[in-house]
Each structure stands twice: as structure tokens, then as C-alpha cells.
């Protein structure tokens, strides 16, 4: 059954491969659990060997399911499968990189960093791992580290557009403006006109905080290909940053209409609605996002905050506790959780969270001047 599934996967018959794998994994999982239930003293060498085999088979099976999900851009599902693989067998080949890549593709950048770093420790010279670790560093605001890695990647792969875009952005954010400009010029020269190239140019302008120019590029992309992915999304982000909430809502809705599986667009749509006090509309969207991506800290935070506004204190606490667990560095999650505890009369817990908020806020005091953080 396993071999058959492997063959089907290699032939690109993903649905059939998955259909073969699922009952196999269920059966194998049961067998393994039975072995697990035996007290250690009663386990024979054969049992132990069998357990190892089952574990390897289960890990392999989940890895196939992860690869299938990734091939179909179901990145949350892929991340779940690769997490399962890692739980079963932490040294499974490429599991950390695959997990990181799935999380990265699902735009869960903070979560992707750990797997990529583990992969890099195992294989420090691998250029692909270096590239994605660098891209993730830039997405999570660790510009200096990102620049070091991406410059190294660029030496070996000078035409990689993603690397150039991230490197240019990181240099701009780190105030190395001349170097950033050079990277962007190089990037633009290499691009023929297409909807995708306009999205790329738009991102370049956005990275340099030239919103008007970025907007022109994203709009041109939509003109060339109304269904192009991400154009409406980036327009929405621009509008959100400019405080144009209704426009942002329209953009994220348009992105979602063309790409209903885009959880990030769904989250951003909910964010824009929350900012307009459309809490009733935002909550169901956020619930969907959280159901799809239970580890999406920002979505957990926003859902918790929205529920608190609706006086659902228990629901708020559940989601805000999850948000603080998932990303303990965000002072706003602790702050909102403190208020939720305060509302519930849990004063001791509230004080503890206020204290954490205060400590994180103090650490923030030395950050870049006057740049607001909460816009996703």
C-alpha cells in the first residue's frame, strides 16, 4: 500500500496517492499504539524493532501527505503533516526545511524561523536553506542577519528575484539606502513587463515607502491580469497603512474573491473590518482563520480582542492566552490579555500580564523612532 502510494505520488497522481496513504497511516498508527501500550518490561526486541519500523513508515507517510498538500498550495495542511513527521522522527530527512518552507509559504514567518535554523545547523552550507532563512529573517524584521545570509546567497545565485527583493528591502530598512537602490536597479533591469513584474516593482516601491508609486504598479498589475495573485492584497496593505480602511477592506475582499484559500487575505480583511468597528463581520472571518491556522498568533490576538469587545471574556482569554504562548514577545497580546483577566476579575493574572507588558514596552524604547507596529 505504501509502495503503491509512493508510485502514485511520483506519477503525480496526488489524490489517489493520498487515498492510498490515509488508511495505511490509520492502520499503522493503531499497530504502533498497541505496541506503545505494553509496559516496557514486557516489550521484546522484536516489538522494539517493529515500533521503529512503524514510526519510520508513519513519518514517511505523513511526509508524502505534506508534499502533496504543498504541491497543491495547501500550506497549512502541509505544515501540519510535516510537524507530525517531526514529532515522529526528528531526524527525518529534510523535515525541518520542509516544515519551514510550508510555514513560510503560509506566511507564518515567525513560526518558520525555528525549523529553518535547525535545518541550517544540520546543513550550514546548503544554499537553499540559507536563502529561506534569510528571507524569513527579513520578513520578521531581523534585517542585519537577513542581509548577511542573502548577500552570501546572491554571490552564488545573482539572478534570484526573491533574494534581490528581500535584500533590497532589508538594506532600505537598515538605512543602507545607496546599496538598497543598487540592488533594486539590478532587480528591475532583469524583469520583462508582466502582471507579476508590476507586483514586484510595487513591492520595491513599497519597501522604499513610496506608496504612491507602489499603488500605480499594483493597479497596473490588476489591469494586465485581473486575477493575478497578491495585487489586491498589497493594495489593501497600502491603504491600511494610510488609514484608508474602507478601501483596504475592498482590496482584501477582492483578493479573497480571486483566491479564497488565502488565509492571510482573510485575516487582513478581518483586521480592516475591526478597525472600522465591524466586529460582527470580523469575528466569523477570524474564527475561520484560526480554525485553519491555530498557530497564527496575530489572528488569535485579533480574535481575542474582538471577543473582548463583545464581552465574551472567556473566549477572549482563550485566544489571547494562545496568542501570548505563540509569540511571547508581543506586548500588545499581553496587554489585551491583562485587560481580559481584569474584566474576568482575575486580578493576580492581570497584574502579571501588565508587568510583562511594561517590561516589553521598556525594551521597545530603544527601537526606531516613531514607527507604529500593529498594522499587520
Partner 1 sequence: MTSRALFLLCALVFTSQFTKGQTMTSPAEPEQRVTFTDITDSAGIKFRHNSAPEKKYIVESMSGGVALFDYDNDSCLDIYFTNALTVETFDAPQSSRSALYHNNCDGTFTDVTEKSGLAYPGWAHGVVAADFDGDGYEDLYVTCLGHNHLYHNNGDGTFTDITARAGVDDTRWSTGAAVADYDKDGALDLFVSNYVEIELSKLPEFGKSKTCQYRGVPVQCGPKGLPGAGDSLFHNKGDGTFTNVSREAGVSDPEGRFGLGAVWTDVDGDGWLDLLVANDATGNYLYRNNHNGTFTEMGLQAGISLDEDGVPLGSMGITVGDYLHSGWLGIFVTNFSGEHATLYRHDKPALFTDVSYPSRVAPVSTPYVGWGTGFFDYDNDGWPDLIAVNGHVYPQMENASVGTTYRQRVLLFHNQHDGTFAEVAVNSGEALVVPRVSRGVALGDIDNDGYIDVLINNLDGKPTILRNDGASRNNWITIKTVGRGMNRDAIGARVKVVSGDLVQWDEVHAGGSYLSSNDPRLHYGLGKKYKVDLIEIHWPDDKVELIKDVPANRFLTIEEQKGIIRTALPTVKK
Residues that bind partner 1 (CB under 8 A): 172, 174-175, 177, 208-212, 241-243, 245, 275-277, 305, 331-336, 338-339, 342, 350-351, 354, 357-358, 361-362, 364-374
Please give the C-alpha separations between residue 18 and each of 13, 54, 63, 98, 279, in angstroms, as whole numbers: 9, 18, 11, 18, 39
Q: What is the DSSP letter of 329?
A: T
For residue 334, the minimal CB distance to partner 1 (Å) is 7
Whose Cβ is closer to partner 1: residue 59's or residue 238's?
238
Residue 92 or 301: the one with the smaller Cβ distance to partner 1 is 301
- In terms of CB distance, is 209 or 257 closer to partner 1? 209
Q: How far is the CB of 338 from partner 1 (least distance, A)?
A: 7
Residue 288: which residues within 8 A CB-CB, separation 6 or more?
Answer: 266
Question: Computed from CA positions of residues 162, 166, 172, 175, in that sequence, does the dihedral angle turn out positive or negative?
Answer: negative
For partner 1, the closer CB: 79 or 240: 240
Question: Is 103 or 245 the residue whose CB approaches partner 1 more closely?
Answer: 245
- Least separation in angstroms between residue 368's CB and partner 1 is 6
Measured over the CA atoms of residue 336, residue 338, residue 341 and residue 343, the dihedral's sign is: negative
**C-alpha–C-alpha distance, residues 79 and 264, integer Å:** 15
Q: Contact 287/316 with Cβ under 8 angstroms?
A: no
- Residue placing its CB nearer to partner 1 in the complex, 37 or 366: 366
Cβ neighbors of 15 (< 8 A, separation 6 or more) are: none
Task: Please state the closest distance from residue 5 (CB atom) to partner 1, in A.
Answer: 47
CB 19 to partner 1: min, Å: 45
Nearer to partner 1, 54 or 335 (CB): 335
Separation between Cα atoms, residue 73 and residue 178, nearest integer Å? 37
> What does the buried/exposed string (b/e) look like for 337-355 if buried means 16 or more CB atoms within 10 Å of the residue's CB?
bbbbbbeeebeebbeebbe
For 108, the 3-state DSSP assignment is coil
- Whichever of 116 and 267 has its CB closer to partner 1, that residue is 267
Closest CA to 92 of 112, 64, 117, 68: 64
Distance CA 83, CA 278 (A): 35
| Cβ closest to partner 1, residue 85 vs residue 245 | 245
Kindly state the smallest distance separating residue 233's Cβ from partner 1, in Å.
19
Is residue 271 within 8 A of residue 240, CB to CB? The reply is yes
Least distance CB 308 / partner 1 (angstroms): 10
Distance CA 177, CA 326 (A): 34
- What is the closest distance, in whole angstroms, from the C-beta atom of residue 372 to partner 1 in the complex? 5
Angle at 125 between CA 326 and CA 78, to 5 degrees: 40
Is residue 146 within 8 A of residue 166, CB to CB? The reply is yes
Minimum distance of partner 1 from residue 365's CB (angstroms): 6
Amino acid at each position: 500500500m505504501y509502495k503503491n502510494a509512493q508510485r502514485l505520488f511520483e506519477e503525480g497522481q496526488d489524490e489517489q496517492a493520498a487515498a492510498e496513504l490515509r488508511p495505511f497511516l490509520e492502520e499503522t498508527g493503531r499497530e504502533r499504539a498497541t505496541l506503545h501500550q505494553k509496559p516496557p518490561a514486557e516489550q521484546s526486541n522484536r516489538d522494539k524493532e517493529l515500533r521503529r519500523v512503524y514510526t519510520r513508515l508513519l513519518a514517511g507517510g505523513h511526509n508524502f501527505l505534506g508534499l502533496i498538500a504543498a504541491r497543491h498550495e495547501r500550506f497549512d495542511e502541509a505544515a501540519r503533516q510535516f510537524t507530525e513527521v517531526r514529532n515522529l522522527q526528528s531526524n527525518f530527512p529534510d523535515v525541518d526545511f520542509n516544515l519551514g518552507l510550508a510555514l513560510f509559504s503560509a506566511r507564518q514567518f515567525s513560526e518558520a524561523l525555528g525549523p529553518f535554523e535547525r535545518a541550517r545547523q544540520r546543513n550550514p552550507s546548503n544554499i537553499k536553506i540559507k536563502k529561506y532563512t534569510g528571507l524569513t529573517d527579513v520578513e520578521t524584521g531581523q534585517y542585519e542577519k537577513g542581509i548577511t545570509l542573502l548577500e552570501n546567497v546572491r554571490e552564488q545565485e545573482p539572478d534570484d528575484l526573491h533574494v534581490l527583493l528581500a535584500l533590497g528591502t532589508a538594506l532600505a530598512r537598515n538605512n543602507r539606502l545607496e546599496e538598497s537602490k543598487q540592488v533594486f536597479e539590478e532587480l528591475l533591469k532583469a524583469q520583462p513587463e508582466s502582471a507579476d513584474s508590476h507586483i514586484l516593482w510595487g513591492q520595491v516601491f513599497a519597501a522604499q515607502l513610496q506608496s504612491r508609486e507602489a499603488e500605480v504598479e499594483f493597479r497596473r498589475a490588476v489591469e494586465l491580469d485581473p486575477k493575478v495573485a497578491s495585487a489586491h492584497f498589497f493594495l489593501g496593505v497600502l491603504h491600511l497603512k494610510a488609514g484608508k480602511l474602507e478601501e483596504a477592506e475592498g482590496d482584501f475582499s477582492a483578493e479573497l474573491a480571486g483566491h479564497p484559500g488565502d488565509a492571510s487575505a482573510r485575516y487582513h480583511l478581518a483586521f480592516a473590518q475591526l478597525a472600522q468597528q465591524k466586529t460582527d463581520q470580523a469575528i466569523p472571518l477570524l474564527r475561520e482563520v484560526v480554525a485553519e491556522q491555530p498557530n497564527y498568533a496575530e489572528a488569535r490576538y485579533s480574535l481575542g480582542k474582538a471577543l473582548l469587545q463583545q464581552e465574551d471574556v472567556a473566549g477572549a482569554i482563550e485566544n489571547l492566552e494562545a496568542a501570548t504562548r505563540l509569540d511571547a514577545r508581543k506586548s500588545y497580546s499581553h496587554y489585551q490579555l491583562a485587560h481580559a483577566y481584569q474584566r474576568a476579575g482575575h486580578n493576580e493574572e492581570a497584574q502579571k500580564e501588565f508587568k510583562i507588558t511594561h517590561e516589553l514596552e521598556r525594551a521597545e524604547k530603544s527601537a526606531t523612532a516613531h514607527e507604529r507596529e500593529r498594522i499587520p
